[in-house]
Amino acid sequence: MPENLLPSSHRIAFSFPADVTSIAEVRHLILSEARTLPFSVEELDDIALAVSEAFTNLVQHAGDYRIRGVCEINPRQLEVRFEIESSASKHIERTQLPNGLSVGGRGIPLLHLLIPMVEIRHLADGVTELRLVKPVSAIQEEH
C-alpha cells in the first residue's frame, strides 16, 4: 500500500464490562482498526488472538466493573492499551510459561509470542496498564 494511502493517526478510547461476553466486541473493535493497516491475514489472526487473550486475562483478574482502554493507529503501528486497577495487577505479571502440568498462567507469555512489544506498566493514578504494540512489518510500495 503506498504510504500516502495509509491511514492517518487516530485514537479510540473504549470501556467494556469486565465480562467474557465483551470479548467478541473488543476483538471486533480492535480488528476493525487493525484492518486499516497493511497487516497480513496471519498478523490479523495474531492480533485477534492477542486481544482476546489479553481481555480474557484481565476479565479473570480484574475486580473492576469495566475494563478501559485505548486503541491508537498510525501509519507505522497498532497500539492497544488496557487499564485495570493496580490491586488486580499482581496476577498479570507472569512472563514465563508455567510447567506443562500447571493450569493457567499462559496468557501473558502467549502475548509475548504473538505481539512484538508487550508491556505492563504501573501508572501513578493506581492503574496498571497492559500495552500491546504491533508494528507494520512491511509497508508495500506502489511499483
Is the pLDDT confidence value at 116 over 50? yes
Q: Is residue 71 part of a domain?
A: yes
Report pLDDT for 91.
Answer: 47
**Domains held by the chain: number:** 1
Q: Is residue 75 part of a domain?
A: yes
Report pLDDT for 65.
Answer: 78
Q: Is residue 120 part of a domain?
A: yes
Q: Is residue 45 part of a domain?
A: yes
pLDDT digits (tens, 9 = 90+) for 64-82: 678 999 999 999 999 999 9
| Structural domain range at position 77 | 3-135
pLDDT digits (tens, 9 = 90+) for 32-46: 999 999 999 999 999
Q: Is residue 29 part of a domain?
A: yes
Q: Is residue 142 part of a domain?
A: no
CATH of the domain at 84: 3.30.565.10
CB atoms within 10 A of CB 32: 11
Residue 119 in contact with residue 131, Cβ under 8 Å?
yes
